[in-house]
Amino acid sequence: MRGIWLHDPRGVDWQKVMAELYAARMNAIFVKFSTGGAAYYRSEVLPGSFYAGRDEAALCLAAARRYGIQVHAWRVCFQMKDAPAESQQRAVREGRVQLDRSGRVLRPSYRAPVLCPSHDWNRSLEVRATVEMATKYPFDGVHLDYLRWIDAEPCCCATCRKRFCRDTRSTVASWPRDVMKGGRLAQTFVSWREQIMTRMVAEISPAVRRARPSTRISAAVWPELASVRRDRGQNWKAWVDAGWLDFICPMNYSTDPAMFAKRLSEERALVNGRVPIYVGIAAYKCTSGSQLRQLVAMAHSGRAGGWVLFNYDERFRTQFLPYLRN
């Protein structure tokens, strides 16, 4: 795979994009078509729907088919980016968002609330939204991002407390101190967070495969498995081992050659050939086309199954695409 992520589909000249990717011998594009709060198509599931007279998904697919380029629908899970303000406020009122130790709403990545994965309604939304995306259009795959807790510190919402006590049969005397780093239940809470996220993938993947068996299911994951399991509850190796994913895109966003090679080697050992690794490369961090080309070459020499670049924008078009054509 020779792919790229595209962050915002609104108003894109799809024919131009696909022609340029084809000329650069690229064969896949990952387009962000939905988040935890909105879809960039007419959605019956998500509260926000961006459809201004142009069916971006249909236009994207038509142009991609012309050039033989795969389209993977990228979903940013749990993030309420672009959700209507009223929907965000309702989620806060209903206690469905992640909170810090002081009870404040966490708004780290997109300055919007983040739905809590422990809440049953939020989990149902993730499954329904992903299935809708997989079945509404003939995408080659669905690509799941942000399948992780948003902060290394615990979410301190009431649902997390209730579910943690129920699932682990723990008694919390002092919330959230008992589950914070150094607290008497801290390690139990870390393990529980991982289980919550793993069960989320276990719910999404079979639902998508039942609804549309040909859909390839993938995830953007963080490198350095031990730390991401501890800090974000993301055990992507377990997801691979269980057969829930068809490939992974580890975001090895370092331009340091030694670090890039080290991470890829570790990931290959962990996956052990079960699924392809299409390594994520931070084109946006590169200072030159030759530096990007070096990382691409390292992905090949490191025996990744392919690579995905972050991300398609005007700088990428003008500064980096020409180097990929040669």
CATH number at residue 109: 3.20.20.80
> In this model, does residue 51 exceed pLDDT 80?
no
In a domain, 279, yes or no: yes
Determine the average pLDDT of the residues in 90-96: 98
> In this model, does residue 191 exceed pLDDT 90?
yes
Average pLDDT, the chain: 97
How many independent structural domains does the chain possess? 1
- Give the residue numbers spanning the domain of 295: 2-97+104-150+196-325
Angle at 233 between CA 228 and CA 235, to 5 degrees: 70
In a domain, 227, yes or no: yes
In a domain, 119, yes or no: yes
Question: Over the range 237-268, which residues count as b (16 or more CB within 10 Å of their CB) and which as e?
Answer: bbbbeeebbbbbbbbbbbbeeeebbbbbebbb
Model confidence at 322, in pLDDT bands (50, 70, 90)? very high
Which two structure tokens, joined as six digits, stand for 174?
A: 């002092």
In a domain, 158, yes or no: no
Q: Is 277 helix (H, G, I), strand (E, B) or coil?
A: strand
pLDDT tens digits, one per residue of 287-297: 999 999 999 99
The residue to which tokens 């672009």 are assigned: 82
Model confidence at 119, in pLDDT bands (50, 70, 90)? very high
Model confidence at 155, in pLDDT bands (50, 70, 90)? very high
In a domain, 224, yes or no: yes
In a domain, 168, yes or no: no
| Model confidence, pTM | 0.96
In a domain, 206, yes or no: yes
The residue to which tokens 């959700």 are assigned: 83
What pLDDT does 108 receive?
Answer: 84
The alpha-helical segments, DSSP class H, found in the chain are: 14-23, 56-67, 85-93, 120-136, 158-168, 186-211, 225-232, 236-241, 257-271, 289-301, 314-315, 321-325
pLDDT tens digits, one per residue of 63-88: 999 999 999 999 999 999 889 999 99
The residue to which tokens 């799941």 are assigned: 144
- pLDDT over 90, % of the chain: 94
> In this model, does residue 199 exceed pLDDT 90?
yes
> In this model, does residue 52 exceed pLDDT 70?
no
Taking the C-alpha atoms of residue 184 and residue 164, their distance in angstroms, rounded to an integer, is 14
In a domain, 171, yes or no: no
> In this model, does residue 24 exceed pLDDT 90?
yes
